[in-house]
Structure formats: C-alpha cells, structure tokens
Amino acid sequence: MGKMIISDDIEVRQNEDLSRYSTFKVGGRADFAAFPKNAEEFKSILFSLKENGQRYTVIGNGSNVLFDDDGYRGTVIFTKYMNNTEYIHMNDKIRVRAECGKSITELAFEAGKKHLLTGMEFAYGIPGSVGGALFMNAGAYGKQISDIVVCTECYDTASEKQMTISAPEHHFSYRKSAFSENKNLIVLSSVFELREGEGGEIFDLMNKYMKNRKEKQPLDFPSAGSVFKRPADGVYAGKLIEDAGLKGLRVGDAEVSEKHAGFIVNRANASSKDILELIEMVKDKVYGSSGVRLECEVIYIPSE
C-alpha cells in the first residue's frame, strides 16, 4: 500500500471495506478512501493524487458499479458528503444547484415536497447521486437527467481547470455523457431547471413511480439495478433474458432475478467474480437465443 499525500483537514481512511459503499454489497478493501466535504477539498484531492501519479476513482452512491473482490489499489474518492442544494428563483423559472454527492431521490423529494417543484419526479427511487446520474444520464419513465440540466460545474483533471459546461456540452445520449466519454472530467455540482407545480400531483406521480418500482424490481436483495443497456429502442434486455429462460440462473450467490430478469441480485454472499461470470453466461446465452449482443450498463472497477 503506497502513501497518500493530501491536506490534514480532509477525511481519509485506510484499508476501507468497499462492500459497504456498493448497492451490490460486494468488493474488497481500498488502500485509501477519501471523503471531501466541498468542491475545494475535492479538487485538492484530485490535484494531489495526479501530482503524485496515484490511481483514483470517484464514487457517488455506488449504485451502478461492481467493485473487485481484491478491492482497489489506490484511492476511492466518495462524494457522499457533498450534498448541498441551493434554490434560485429567476422570474418564472426556478433552478436548483446541487452538489455532486446529493442523492437524486432526496433531491426529487426535497424539490417536490419543500418547494412544490415539478420535473424531477422520474428520479424518485433511482438510488444514485447527481454526479453518477450525470455520468450515466440516468432516467426512468420516459425522462432522463438530460431533460432538466442547465449547466454543470466540473473539474478537468487533465488541464487542472474548473469550468462550467452548458447543456449541449454534456453530449448526452442513452446512458452516456461527456463524463462517461472523458474520465478526466469530474462533476462538482449541477444546475437543474424545474417548474412550479401542484403538490398533490407531484406526490401522486412520485408515489406511482415508487409503487411501480416495488412491484417490478427485486428491491429486497442487493443489486445495481439493470445490469445491461437497452440494446435498441423498444428492445429490453430483461425481456431477452427472460425469453432465453435465464430467470433464476445462478453462479454462487449471484442470481438472475426471478422478479426482473434485467437485474442480477446478490442472494447473500456473492463475490464480484460470481457476478462477472454470471454476466458473461447471460451475454453468451442471450446471443445464442436472439443474436443480440448485450452491453453492460454496470461499471466494473478492477483492483489494479
């Protein structure tokens, strides 16, 4: 394990168990885990690690990643303490600035309940952070984060500069963004545009979406949501997997969910290796039965 050189004020832990920070509940130990509380701390960590040639990765809520059983050689930067929000009223428009670690489910709830703002209901129930949602262009029920983004404050670790990018500069497409295409670009905070709404309607919609999730998704087991991307418009990975007869297929404690074939669940003590093996089996079998090559949505983070 190397040394990590950053300011004394910033919380850094050694030998941290990554399974605690992944919704799959899988992963070994990271050499270092850093927890910035604001953009200045975040930038100073990124700067120090780069100057010292040390490996790092950034994690929001860990709901779309699969950590390695051998953990992570380097530093995992967790943004969970960067969760401030600010509401900006501009004539008839209302914008909210949220730091990268803010939970999008909490943001949707806060905007809807406290501020009676509509436009984020779709995000209620997605267990991601603002940074992770921008990276993945997270979406549900026909809406995506790209529909409401005005601009994002980011830090470019290549040029070591902070900048604001406009909505078109995010280059959003299905589960892709400027951040997934250029890993040097790190989200610090983002501004979303919402509208004044009617409290009852906002709540009805959020409750409807949550009810739907509880009915259709295996929320009682750890998972990372849908494992595969939608192969094409109107073609669903879950349906192809179900049609191939793969519901219930297991490697160790990793299982293709009986409730929703697009999910792989950790039934108890699945390893990262079990999950990766099951993903490959599913890909092969679906290709054999349908000719469709599934692409992983979940991001595997190798130990080195």
Sign of the dihedral defined by the CA atoms of residues 231, 235, 238, 241, in that order:
negative
CB neighbour list of residue 210: distance below 8 Å, 6 or more residues apart? 124, 125
Among candidate residues 121, 175, 230, 257, the one labeled active-site is: 175
CA distance 37 to 52: 22
Cα-based distances in Å from 251 to 113, 243, 291:
43, 19, 23
Residue closest to ligand FAD (Cβ): 132
In one-letter notation, the amino acid at residue 95 is R
Q: How far is the CB of 68 from ligand FAD (least distance, A)?
A: 14
162-221 residues near ligand FAD, rule: CB under 6 A: 179, 186-187, 217, 219
110 included as an active-site residue: no
Phi, psi of 110 (to 5 degrees): -65, -45
Query: Per CB under 6 A, which region of 31-39, 111-119, 129-137, 162-170 contacts ligand FAD?
Result: 129-137
Taking CB under 6 A as the criterion, the residue among 76, 136, 178, 265 binding ligand FAD is 136
Taking CB under 6 A as the criterion, the residue among 26, 33, 49, 224 binding ligand FAD is 224
CA distance 105 to 148: 15
Q: Is residue 126 within the footprint of ligand FAD (CB under 6 A)?
A: yes
Sign of the dihedral defined by the CA atoms of residues 69, 70, 73, 77, in that order:
positive
Residues shown for the chain: 304
Q: How far is the CB of 291 from ligand FAD (least distance, A)?
A: 26
In this structure, are residues 155 and 46 in contact, taking their beta carbons and an 8 Å threshold? yes
2-21 residues near ligand FAD, rule: CB under 6 A: none
37-76 residues near ligand FAD, rule: CB under 6 A: 57-65
Q: Just list the catalytic residues.
A: 175, 226, 297
User: What is the contact surface with ligand FAD in residues (CB under 6 A)?
Assistant: 23, 57-65, 79, 100, 126-129, 131-133, 135-136, 138-140, 179, 186-187, 217, 219, 223-225, 299
